């Protein structure tokens, strides 16, 4: 009879733990110890009942505590209100951006996945402003660069990973509100976080442009995007490899009204071996405009053409004046008279 009581008790406890999603392996271990206890026919008491009661109570309390923490984590992830004045103040001090009302910053930090009033309009404005100022800078700094190559360089400055990295540096991840997956081991989650950070950073640029003016947005972009170290030469050379460098060099020389390029073998070693190396130079008239090496003459000539085009397209203007550079003088006060004539 006592065995039936114990078995019934164990079954009821197991059902409770299963409904609360508590691990059953630990409970089954305790249940096995109870069943293994020798019960006397004349003794109707269960000696292990206090320990079972203490065990089940502690497990339930532990499970409720874990569940509460998980729920609090989900709530903070889904909707993170900007009521932490310390974080908002730290963000303003770190970025130097202070809006007239806190509602603007709250809207900037709200991604559309939060199911609240989102920052979509700021995102669109900010991404457009960012690309405009970066395009202006790249085209002014590299005036001889082809448009398709310049597009690759511009993308290197404003890609999602770069914008997300800038947002991480400024600390937008501490304030942004969004709803995403909780699977931390998924690569898609990492990509999703970067996308949200980039979106919020675009919104911040858009809000600065709208509420602080174009000059403030331009300063923000030049400080945090155009000041980043970017290997423009590698980008140009990689793009030229996918194009037809020989044909492109011939067209470029023709457009510049220069003589047709001529390739010359400058040196070689191990022609008859498996490790041959050839050095080829490309000349435009008497000027050597490019040089390259390779395991074959054809490869060396191609690299020489890429070198010539890279040098041409990477011609820089150091002290550039951008169209967006503004002065304090207005159109009405600007004049070219050395001395204003009497009226």
Identify the architecture of domain 242-313 in CATH.
Answer: 2-Layer Sandwich (3.30)
**HSE-up of 278 (CA within 13 Å, CB side)?**
20
Whether 29 shows a pLDDT value over 60: the answer reads no
More confident residue, 41 or 137: 137
Distance separating alpha carbons of residues 238 and 310, to the nearest angstrom: 10
Q: Is pLDDT above 80 for 67?
A: no
Higher pLDDT: 72 or 107? It is: 107
What integer pLDDT is reported at residue 298 of this predicted model? 95
First to last CA, the chain: 121
Least confident residue range of 10-24, 82-96, 102-116, 282-296: 10-24
pLDDT in tens, 310-330: 999 999 998 888 988 865 556
Lowest-confidence segment of 62-71, 115-124, 151-160, 329-338 by average pLDDT: 62-71
Mean pLDDT, to the nearest integer, of 100-118? 86
**Homologous superfamily of 85-224:** Ribonuclease III domain (1.10.1520.10)
User: What percent of the chain is predicted at pLDDT more than 70?
Assistant: 69
Cα 75 from Cα 68, distance rounded (Å): 11
pLDDT in tens, 259-310: 999 999 999 998 888 899 999 999 999 999 999 999 999 999 999 999 999 9
pLDDT at 81 over 90: no
How many Cα atoms are found within 13 Å in the side-chain-facing hemisphere of 109? 25
Residue 211 near residue 104 (C-beta atoms within 8 A)? yes
Instruction: Please report, rounded to a whole number, the percentage of residues in the chain having pLDDT higher than 90.
Output: 49
- At 71, the pLDDT band (50, 70, 90 cuts) reads very low
**DSSP class of residue 260?**
P
3-class DSSP assignment, residue 45? coil
Q: What is the mean pLDDT of residues 39-63?
A: 43
178-197 pLDDT per residue, tens: 886 444 444 545 668 899 99
Report whether 150 contacts 127 (CB < 8 A): no
Residues of the chain with CATH 3.30.160.20: 242-313
Radius of gyration for the alpha carbons in the chain, expressed in angstroms and rounded: 35
For 245, phi then psi, to 5°, come to: -60, -35
**How many angstroms separate the CA atoms of 74 and 81, rounded?**
13
What is the SS3 assignment for 63-79?
A: HHHHHHHHHHHHHHHHC
pLDDT in tens, 131-162: 999 999 999 999 999 999 999 999 999 999 99
The residues of the chain that CATH labels 1.10.1520.10 are 85-224
**So what's the pLDDT on residue 245?**
93
Higher pLDDT, 341 or 126: 126
């Amino acid at each position: 009879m006592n065995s039936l009581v114990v078995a019934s008790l164990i079954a009821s406890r197991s059902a409770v733990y299963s409904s609360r999603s508590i691990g059953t392996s630990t409970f089954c271990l305790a249940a096995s110890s109870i069943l293994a206890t020798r019960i006397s026919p004349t003794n109707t008491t269960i000696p292990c009942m206090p320990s079972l009661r203490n065990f089940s109570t502690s497990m339930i309390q532990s499970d409720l505590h874990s569940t509460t923490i998980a729920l609090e984590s989900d709530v903070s992830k889904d909707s993170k209100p900007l009521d932490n004045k310390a974080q908002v103040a730290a963000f303003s001090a770190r970025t130097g951006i202070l809006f007239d009302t806190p509602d603007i910053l709250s809207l900037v930090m709200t991604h559309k996945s939060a199911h609240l009033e989102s920052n979509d309009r700021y995102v669109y404005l900010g991404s457009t402003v960012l690309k405009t100022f970066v395009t202006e800078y790249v085209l002014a700094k590299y005036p001889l660069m082809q448009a398709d190559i310049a597009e690759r360089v511009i993308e290197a400055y404003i890609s999602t990973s770069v914008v997300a990295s800038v947002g991480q540096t400024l600390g937008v991840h501490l304030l942004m509100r969004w709803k995403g997956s909780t699977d931390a081991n998924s690569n898609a989650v990492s990509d999703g976080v970067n996308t949200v950070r980039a979106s919020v950073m675009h919104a911040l640029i858009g809000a600065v442009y709208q509420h602080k003016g174009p000059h403030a947005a331009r300063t923000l972009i030049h400080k945090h995007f155009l000041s980043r170290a970017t290997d423009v030469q590698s980008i140009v050379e990689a793009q030229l490899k996918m194009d037809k460098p020989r044909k492109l060099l011939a067209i470029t020389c023709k457009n510049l009204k220069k003589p047709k390029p001529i390739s010359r073998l400058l040196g070689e070693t191990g022609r008859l071996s498996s490790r041959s190396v050839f050095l080829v130079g490309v000349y435009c008239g008497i000027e050597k405009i490019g040089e390259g090496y390779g395991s074959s003459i054809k490869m060396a000539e191609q690299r020489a053409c890429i070198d010539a085009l890279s040098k041409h397209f990477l011609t820089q203007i150091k002290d550039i004046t951008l169209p967006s550079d503004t002065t304090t003088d207005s159109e009405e006060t600007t004049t070219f008279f050395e001395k204003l004539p009497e009226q």
